[in-house]
Amino acid sequence: MVKPMIMQMGSYPVWDEAALNDSYDVRRYFEAPDKAAFLAQNGAGIRAIATRGELGASRAVIEACPQLELISVFGVGYDAVDLAACRDHGIRVTNTPDVLTDDVADLAVAMLLAVARGLIGAEDWVRSGDWARGGDYPLQRRVWGQRAGILGLGRIGQAVVRRLHGFGMEVSYCATAAKAGAEGMRFVADPVALARDVDFLFVTLAASDKTRHIVGQEVIAALGPEGILINVSRGSNVDEGALLAALESGGLGAAALDVFDNEPAIDPQFLSLRNVLLQPHHGSATVATRKAMGQLVRDNLAAHFTGKPLLTPVL
Ligand code: 8YV
């Protein structure tokens, strides 16, 4: 049987690469030095694209593949896929929700703890010999019992909340509407009002054109000099210029970021700031979760090519 031709937009763990190659004729876009030449040569035969959340697929790529039927995203976020182009050409899209929810929530809470309790500086304190030389590490910030805000109460936001309840926190959330099943949490319709009322603000919002810079200068100012911002969603949800200015001036207490504009070549200004924790977009990056994500990417491809319903369709 002829293997369907698919295009791979970025690398995957070796076990996923091997499994994909078993079932498909895989064309590796990300390795091509000349993308236009690659598309001209391979585009006509491509029936599916396997991509990653942050890589997506642009209209130009989609339209270079006239036989394209499906885009299978390794990631829950599909903001980098041009959905309008997919609609225009009747292309289906799938993602990998649920399997990564708890890992991303774990990292979000770990990042808050690391910043508030000064874990990175404390580690340096021990390794540098400062502790042995007799200095006590400066006192840090309490986490339990504080007020937390969740911007975007989807699967990941709810998983963060479950963890925060274990820390005895008072939780408020902002979403497009009050959510059923969000008992015990306060609904705040306006992100600025949410930021004003909390100590820690978690951004767990699915990114789209509508949410771009939803955390802007006003939200950051409302969170204030004692506030901590944690972003595990997408860089585009935060106005990075406003964030950098507030971190620099002390207008915002601190930030913990797993996502940025222009990943992985992030704004170098971040590197000179001490009040920000920088993480390499690895919320879902555990072996178990990445294996489950790869399996779901393949299960969606297999469902499509055997005429079965897609498991986790976006479109
Ligand atoms: C992944 C993600 O880092 O799920 C998402 O939307 O951004 C992440 O889980 C990414 O898709 C893997 O490259």
| pLDDT digits 0-9 by tens, 1-38 | 899 999 999 999 999 999 999 999 999 999 999 999 99
pLDDT for the residue numbered 183: 81
What's the pLDDT tens digit per position in 66-113? 999 999 999 999 999 999 999 999 999 999 999 999 999 999 999 999
> How much distance in Å is there from the Cα of 74 to the middle of ligand 1?
7
Tokens of 67: 């036989």
Look at residues 9, 106, 103, 1 and name the one whose alpha carbon lies nearest to residue 48. Answer: 9
Phi, psi at residue 30, to the nearest 5°? Answer: -65, -20
pLDDT for the residue numbered 1: 81
What's the pLDDT tens digit per position in 280-301? 999 999 999 999 999 999 999 9
In the chain, which ranges are continuous DSSP H helix? 14-23, 35-42, 59-63, 83-88, 101-116, 119-127, 155-166, 191-196, 217-223, 240-249, 287-305
Kindly report which listed range (20-24, 48-52, 177-181, 265-269) carries the lowest average pLDDT score: 177-181
Which percentage of the chain shows pLDDT scores above 70? 100
Tokens of 46: 């491509």
Give residues with Cβ within 8 angstroms of 61, minimum separation 6. 9, 29, 39, 49
Mutate-to-test residue for ligand 1 from 79, 237, 281, 297, highest number of ligand atoms within 8 A of CB: 281
Q: Is the CB of 102 under 6 A from ligand 1?
A: no
> How much distance in Å is there from the Cα of 60 to the middle of ligand 1?
22
Which atom of ligand 1 lies at the shortest distance from residue 234's CA?
Answer: 7
**What integer is the mean pLDDT of 156-183?**
94
pLDDT above 90: residue 180: no
Distance CA 309, CA 32 (A): 33
Residue with more model confidence, 183 or 13: 13
Which atom of ligand 1 lies at the shortest distance from residue 10's CA?
Answer: 13
What's the pLDDT tens digit per position in 190-241? 999 999 999 999 999 999 999 999 999 999 999 999 999 999 999 999 999 9
- Told to judge if 282 belongs to the known catalytic residues of this protein, a careful annotator would answer no
Whether 267 and 240 have beta carbons less than 8 Å apart is answered as yes
pLDDT for the residue numbered 184: 85
The residue contributing the CA closest to ligand 1 atom 6 is 77
Q: Which domains, and CATH codes, for the chain?
A: 5-99+288-305 (3.40.50.720), 101-278 (3.40.50.720)
Q: Is the CB of 235 under 6 A from ligand 1?
A: no
Q: List Cα–Cα distances, 269 to 212, 265, 273, in angstroms.
A: 21, 11, 7
Q: How many CB atoms lie within 10 A of CB 284?
A: 25
Distance CA 35, CA 138 (A): 52
Distance CA 280, CA 294 (A): 20
Confidence of residue 307 (pLDDT cuts 50, 70, 90): very high
Q: Could you give the 3-state DSSP secondary structure of residue 148?
A: strand
Q: List Cα–Cα distances, 280 to 3, 189, 223, 231, in angstroms.
A: 35, 31, 24, 12
Give residues with Cβ within 8 angstroms of 195, minimum separation 6. 149, 201, 219, 220, 222, 223, 227
| N-terminal to C-terminal alpha carbon distance within the chain | 28
Q: How many CB atoms lie within 10 A of CB 272?
A: 9
Whether 113 and 87 have beta carbons less than 8 Å apart is answered as no
pLDDT for the residue numbered 58: 98
**What integer is the mean pLDDT of 114-140?**
97
> How much distance in Å is there from the Cα of 194 to the middle of ligand 1?
27
Look at residues 93, 112, 147, 78 and name the one whose alpha carbon lies nearest to residue 232. Answer: 112
Q: From the candidates 234, 290, 298, 304, give the one annotated as an active-site residue.
A: 234
Whether 245 and 218 have beta carbons less than 8 Å apart is answered as no
